[in-house]
Amino acid sequence: MAVLRYLSHPQVRIQPDVPVPDWSLSDQGRARMQAVAAAPWLARTTRIVSSGETKARQTAAILGAAINLQPQADWQLNEIDRSATGYVPHDRHEALADAFFAHPDLSIEGWERASDVAARGMAALRRHLAAQDRGDLLLVGHGGIGTMIWCALAGLTPDRRHDQPAGGGAVWAVRLPDLAPEHGWRRAEAVDGGAGRC
C-alpha cells in the first residue's frame, strides 16, 4: 500500500525584517529533521515535493539527501499569502489565524482567503498525484495550507482545531490511490509508517 504524507516544516528562525517566505529553519528545526531522516517510513518515499518557501525547501533537502532524492519545488504549495501584514507578533498572528479559519471566504486584513488556499492546495495535490506512479509521495509545506488540504481529504469542516501541533514538523497521511485517511497531524518523530487510523 502506497501512502501520501504531508509534512509541515519544523521550527524556524524568526526574522521580523525578512519576508516570512524567506525565513530559514532554526538549529532546532534542522536537528529534528536530521533525526526524522532516519525514520523507516521515509525510505519508502519515491518523490518529494516542497513548497517554494525557503524553510520548506530546506526541510525537503535534508530528507531528500537521506534517501538520495532531489526534491521538486512547487510554489502552489506555498503557505497562506500574508504579505499584506508581513511579520506580526505571536499573539496577533494567532488572532489572525483564528479569523482565517473561522471566515474562509473573507480576506483577513489582506491575507489570502482560506477558500482560495484550499483550492490552490488541492489543485497542486491532484497534479502531483497524477505524476506519482509508484511508492510513497511526500509533500513538504506548511501548517495552514496543509490543514486546509487535510480537512478536504478527511471530510472535515476547516477549523483551527484541526491545525498542526505547536512547533510544526508534523505529518498527516492518506492511502494511495483512494486517499483514505490514515492519520491526522502527528509530530514527525511519532510517525510509525502509517499504521493506525486518524
Q: Once rounded to an integer, what is the mean pLDDT over residues 69-80?
A: 98
pLDDT band at 1 (very low <50, low <70, confident <90, very high): confident
Average pLDDT of the chain? 95
Q: Is residue 195 scored above 60 in pLDDT? A: no
The topology (CATH level 3) of 2-190 is Rossmann fold (3.40.50)
Q: CA-CA distance, 186 to 182, in Å (whole number)?
A: 11
Q: Looking at residue 20, what DSSP letter applies?
A: G
Q: Once rounded to an integer, what is the mean pLDDT over residues 95-100?
A: 97
pLDDT band at 193 (very low <50, low <70, confident <90, very high): low
Residue indicated by cell numbers 519515491: 46
Tell me what pLDDT residue 192 has: 80
Q: How does pLDDT run across 104-161, given as a tens digit for each residue?
A: 999 999 999 999 999 999 999 999 999 999 999 999 999 999 999 999 999 999 999 9
Q: Is residue 68 scored above 60 in pLDDT? A: yes
Domain boundaries, the chain: 2-190
Q: Is residue 191 scored above 70 in pLDDT? A: yes
